[in-house]
Structure 1
Amino acid sequence: MAENDDSGSGAEELLGTRLGYLLKHAQLRLAEHAGPALAPYGLDARELAVLAVLAAGRPLSQLEAARRLGVDRTTMVALVDALEDKGLVERRRSEEDRRRNVVELTERGVRVRAEAEEARETAERRFLAPLGERDAARLVQALRVLVGASDGS
């Protein structure tokens, strides 16, 4: 069998130096915090991201929202269908271009998004707490740079 059976600590040390492994497992741990925080609102993190994008400005089509989120059209349709079934969004004709449909938050969707965003922020702060405020802010800024979303500050 294994020459060096020390409960996997050697493998964990090796993997613990790999960025992909660390990012994946950090995301999984974050999900462990965010999932329960969002559960009372009947949302998961992806659905909340859709609500956030739809609330961020002018009404968007499903395709525009999908592009901003980096998801394919089929996934976006399923997400909007689920949110529509929950009474959080509605599809309607665009007032600017009658050939186009847009997706907007309902009154309930606006309220649920705001409350769920507060819960998400609290969960993220709890997740990042071991780093301290300064290092947590630096981590978030570094990740923004890596994904190309730097705010220039």
Structure 2
Amino acid sequence: MSTSTDKATPAAPASSLVDGMDGIERFLDSELAGQIDFLIARARGRGSGQANQMLADLDLKVRQSSVLALAASGLNPSQREMGEFLALDPSQIVALVDNLEDRGAVQRETDPRDRRSKIIVATEAGHELHQKARQILAESEDVTLATLSPRERKQLRALLLKIAF
């Protein structure tokens, strides 16, 4: 009597052996692999995952780094503006700013344009942290986009800006 543990593992389909594709490559011709939303989400996941891994030494993640970048930009964004630009819910922005504020990287100041609102500005330590994060993010982008030429990277950036805004 044979049990399921006695059965041999089925051989790979002949088509994947002929094409030399195994693993996830065999799905590249699927309908899903042609869907823009899927491709954007997958590219974002790969890029963010790579960046988060590289930012770990600074105890940062991409979202925190994004908030810090806006705070260090000199544009004096309010929390509301940050949320709108980063497409994050206000509670997410509050948590990210709280975390960075606890680390001494940002501070909340009264917005001179609207005294009921707070702007988020980087401290001196925040500017230093931002510079380190910027360098790491540039390296991460190079890793993520290694298969693209400089021209293709420029084109991708332009297309993504068109889609995002």
Which residue pairs with 2:29 in the alignment? 13
- What secondary structure does 1:130 align onto? coil
Which residue pairs with 1:49 in the alignment? 66
- Identity percentage over the alignment? 31
Q: Of the two structures, which has the highest relative contact order with CA contacts closer than 8 Å and spacing of 6 or more?
A: 1
Which residue pairs with 2:90 in the alignment? 73
Matching of residue 36 in structure 1 with residue 17 in structure 2: no
Once the two structures are overlaid, the 10-residue window that deviates more, 8-17 or 74-83, is 8-17
Once the two structures are overlaid, the 10-residue window that deviates more, 44-53 or 29-38, is 29-38
Residues 1-153 of structure 1: matches in 2 within 5 Å?
6=13, 11-14=27-30, 15-94=32-111, 98-148=115-165
Q: Normalising by the residue count of structure 1, what TM-score does the alignment of the two structures yield? A: 0.81
| CA distance, structure 2, for counterparts of residue 146 and residue 101 of structure 1 | 29
Indicate conservation of the 8 Å contact 2:72/2:126, yes or no.
no
Q: Normalising by the residue count of structure 2, what TM-score does the alignment of the two structures yield? A: 0.76
Indicate conservation of the 8 Å contact 1:53/1:69, yes or no.
no
| CA distance, structure 1, for counterparts of residue 146 and residue 133 of structure 2 | 20
Q: 1:98 to 1:145 in 2, by over 3 A?
A: closer
Structure 2 gap segments, 5+ residues each: 1-11, 14-22
Q: 1:69 to 1:8 in 2, by over 3 A?
A: closer
Q: 1:101 to 1:18 in 2, by over 3 A?
A: closer
Q: How many residue pairs end up in the alignment?
A: 144
CA-based RMSD of the aligned residues comes to 2.1
Flag the structure with larger Rg. 2
| CA distance, structure 2, for counterparts of residue 102 and residue 135 of structure 1 | 36
Q: CA deviation at 1:112?
A: 0.3
